[in-house]
Amino acid sequence: MSSDKVRLALLGCGTVGTEVVRLLHEQSADLTARIGAPLELVGIAVRRPGRQRGSDIDPALFTTDALGLVKRDDVDVVIEVVGGIEPARSWLTEALRAGKSVVTANKALLAEDGATLHDAAAEGGADLYYEAAVAGAIPLLRPLRESLHGDRVTRVTGIVNGTTNFILSSMDATGAGFGEALDEATELGYAEADPTADVEGFDAAAKAAILASLAFHTRVTAADVFREGMTGVTAADMASAKEMGCTIKLLCIAQRGPDSAGTDSVSVRVHPAMIPRSHPLAGVGDAFNAVFVEAEAAGQLMFYGRGAGGTPTASAVLGDIVAAARNRLSGTRAPSESSYAHLPIRPIGESVTRYHISLDVADRQGVLATVAGVFAQHEVSIATVRQSGREDDATLVIVTHGAPDANLAATVEDLRALDIVRSIASVLRVEGGA
């Protein structure tokens, strides 16, 4: 690298990439002053080079040959904002092994096979930065990776998907059902044409794996994360949550602690849950993200902001570019990521949570005793019971004390088999509060 410039290759120029280019142009003088040398964008790889990008980018920069661009000798920093596993993994391992710094927003790749990227970075003595991969603009990974390294993080609870938070906030505010709220999110440009990754929790699970890996110094992949989407949350569930002084959020929860045999382990899960309105995450509305970190010495910390969108995400990418460029000029490297702990993953069956169960029952004599008996049989303690309706049209809403997921699953299975239980309308976890 010549010390007069830091040369950048950009892979992808869509929602995030276009904003990265705009900010690089608009903030060029400030960035030069902060880094100590100018940044030069030497090429942009895309699929369709002729496409209108909505900003005045020199057309000569575009190429469809991403690998060729990565391999260019004059490239110092590779910025990947394409997404997906392949070919992104091949491009980035090639760059890192060759000693080029990498900045990526690719949560799917980091969660599925982060180890390959970290190994390639170690092999090439190169920097791998990915602040934008979780919670967009919110500075979160650097605090976990650096500021909290003297502490022991015990739990991370977050709203890390903007689309689903918009949908659930709208259901809460208007009483709308899931479909109606999703249509609104699509109209306003929050939800993608195919919202599966968001509403089924895949996006949040990838982010949860990255957060857990950093928080607990261990390797967690997307496959280790228990995942349940939020498509089953109904207007009735939201109304029930309101009656309890709660709302419903799609949460990612990563916890460190002993498993049933007393071994230090981690559990990572993504699912909708009721939380009390007094919980710090309950007030996080619209498409905002927030992450609540609990550490032994620091106590409780809250990170809040915009978790998606081209400009907020580009802010995090630019921060990483500055860090990588400074390191190259000074011949230093980012603090390496520690994954020394090798903690086992605790199965979901051992997760202890409170539950809210809504049953449609025939209101015959003894129904309550029969239902309560099933809970007792599986050692699930009942905290409250509420009945509404009469005769063949009654609803029982039961809230439990904390119980292992496996016990609750067995309870629900046995309840389903009772002829007085016509249907189980919903089973939702309850998090936060006493």
Ligand X SMILES: NC(=O)C1=CN([C@@H]2O[C@H](COP(=O)(O)OP(=O)(O)OC[C@H]3O[C@@H](n4cnc5c(N)ncnc54)[C@H](OP(=O)(O)O)[C@@H]3O)[C@@H](O)[C@H]2O)C=CC1
Catalytic residues: 207
Instruction: Decide whether 304 or 375 has the Cβ nearer to ligand X.
Output: 304
The response to whether 370 counts as a known ligand-binding position is: no
Told to check if 204 binds ligand X by CB under 6 A, we report no
Instruction: Decide whether 57 or 308 has the Cβ nearer to ligand LTNE7NMQ.
Output: 308
Among 307, 310, 404, 432, binds ligand LTNE7NMQ (CB under 6 A): 307
Q: Measured from the CB of residue 354, what is the shortest distance to ligand X in angstroms?
A: 32
The response to whether 14 counts as a known ligand-binding position is: yes
Alpha carbons 252 and 201: distance in angstroms, whole number:
9
The option from ligand X, ligand LTNE7NMQ, none interacting with 20 (CB < 5 to 8 A, set by class) reads none
Q: Measured from the CB of residue 204, what is the shortest distance to ligand X in angstroms?
A: 12
Told to check if 309 binds ligand X by CB under 6 A, we report yes
Among 19, 131, 172, 198, binds ligand LTNE7NMQ (CB under 6 A): 198
- Per CB under 6 A, the segment of 11-19, 20-28, 183-191, 353-361 that binds ligand X is 11-19
Told to check if 310 binds ligand LTNE7NMQ by CB under 6 A, we report no
**Three-state secondary structure along the chain?**
CCCCCEEEEEECCCHHHHHHHHHHHHCHHHHHHHHCCCEEEEEEECCCCCCCCCCCCCHHHEECCHHHHHHCCCCCEEEECCCCCCCHHHHHHHHHHCCCEEEECCHHHHHHHHHHHHHHHHHHCCCEECHHHCCCCCCCHHHHHHHCCCCCEEEEEEECCHHHHHHHHHHHHHCCCHHHHHHHHHHCCCCCCCCHHHHCCHHHHHHHHHHHHHHHCCCCCHHHCEECCCCCCCHHHHHHHHHCCEEEEEEEEEEEEECCCCCEEEEEEEEEEEEECCCCCCCCCCCEEEEEEEECCCEEEEEEEECCCHHHHHHHHHHHHHHHHHHHHHCCCCCCCCCCCCCCECCHHHCEEEEEEEEEECCCCCHHHHHHHHHHHCCCCEEEEEEECCHHHEEEEEEECCEEHHHHHHHHHHHHCCCCEEEEEEEEEECCCC
The response to whether 158 counts as a known ligand-binding position is: no
The response to whether 252 counts as a known ligand-binding position is: no
Told to check if 411 binds ligand X by CB under 6 A, we report no
* Residues 228-287, interacting with ligand X (CB under 6 A): none
Told to check if 203 binds ligand LTNE7NMQ by CB under 6 A, we report yes
Each residue 104-123 as x (binds ligand X by CB under 6 A) or -, in order, gives -xxx----------------
Helix axes 235-243, 162-174, angle to 10 degrees: 70
Contact 45, 336 (CB under 8 A): no
- Per CB under 6 A, the segment of 119-127, 140-148, 155-163, 328-336 that binds ligand LTNE7NMQ is 155-163
Alpha carbons 318 and 306: distance in angstroms, whole number:
15
Told to check if 12 binds ligand LTNE7NMQ by CB under 6 A, we report no
Told to check if 43 binds ligand X by CB under 6 A, we report no
Told to check if 163 binds ligand X by CB under 6 A, we report no
The response to whether 12 counts as a known ligand-binding position is: yes
The response to whether 18 counts as a known ligand-binding position is: yes
- Per CB under 6 A, the segment of 25-33, 77-85, 271-279, 328-336 that binds ligand X is 77-85
User: Can you say which residues are annotated as belonging to the binding site for L-homoserine?
Assistant: 192
Positions at the binding site for NADPH? 107
- Interaction site with ligand X (CB under 6 A): 12-17, 45-48, 51, 66, 81-83, 87, 105-107, 132, 136, 308-309, 313
By the criterion CB under 6 A, which residues form the site for ligand LTNE7NMQ? 136, 161-163, 198, 203, 307-308
Q: Which residues are annotated as a binding site?
A: 11-18, 107, 192
